[in-house]
């Protein structure tokens, strides 16, 4: 499922190419690219739910917590996201890339993935997709994009 999401994001969304409106045409395109029908359906549904997070007047993630409060993960969340993933989310909050709303959107989208394996690189892609979809987070999106694409270019002394 992550492969399809990354393929769609890189091919259509991030490159600002016109996304095919007809889901049947998009499904055919993904089938020709070698993806399985069940995974295609689940990925498209996942993307629809991501878009729906922005279409509601009510933001379900606003919890009006104190700035000093700490997010406690459920057992299921800890099984899906290892210590490195949770630590990375905390780091992004500390440097103001994520706020409580976008963090919760990321966790929601991670928990909706239909995959057994989930690693830090997958989390970075999910964060990028959420920030791209969340209005007003352009600077945060640029920072995460730099983390994904810019790390290879850096020389460590």
For the chain, the structural domain boundaries read: 1-53, 65-156
pLDDT of residue 56: 56
pLDDT attached to residue 71: 87
Q: Which residues fall within 8 angstroms of residue 125, CB to CB, at 6 or more apart?
A: 2, 5, 6, 9, 148
CB atoms within 10 A of CB 85: 24
All residues at 6 or more sequence positions from 19 whose CB lies less than 8 Å from its CB, including other chains: 12, 13, 26
| pLDDT confidence of residue 83 | 96
Average pLDDT, the chain: 83
pTM of the model: 0.80
Is 101 within 8 Å of 61 (Cβ atoms)? Answer: yes
Q: How far apart are alpha carbons 121 and 101 in whole angstroms?
A: 21
Query: What integer pLDDT is reported at residue 48 of this predicted model?
Result: 86
User: What residues of the chain score a pLDDT lower than 50?
Assistant: 20, 154-157
Query: Which of these, 120, 133, 128, lies nearest to 144 by C-alpha position?
Result: 128
pLDDT of 151 reads 56
pLDDT in tens, 46-87: 988 888 877 655 555 555 566 667 889 999 999 999 999 999
């Amino acid at each position: 499922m992550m492969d399809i999401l990354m393929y769609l994001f890189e091919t259509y969304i991030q490159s600002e190419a016109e996304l095919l409106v007809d889901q049947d045409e998009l499904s055919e395109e993904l089938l020709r690219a070698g993806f399985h029908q069940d995974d295609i359906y689940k990925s498209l549904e996942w993307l629809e739910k991501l878009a729906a997070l922005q279409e509601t007047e009510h933001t379900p993630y606003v919890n009006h917590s104190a700035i000093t409060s700490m997010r406690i993960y459920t057992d299921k969340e800890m099984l899906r996201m290892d210590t490195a993933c949770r630590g990375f989310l905390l780091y992004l909050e500390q440097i103001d890339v994520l706020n409580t709303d976008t963090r919760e959107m990321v966790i929601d989208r991670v928990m909706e993935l239909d995959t057994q394996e989930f690693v830090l690189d997958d989390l970075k892609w999910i964060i990028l997709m959420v920030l791209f979809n969340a209005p007003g987070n352009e600077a945060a999106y640029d920072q995460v994009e730099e983390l994904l694409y810019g790390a290879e270019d850096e020389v460590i002394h």
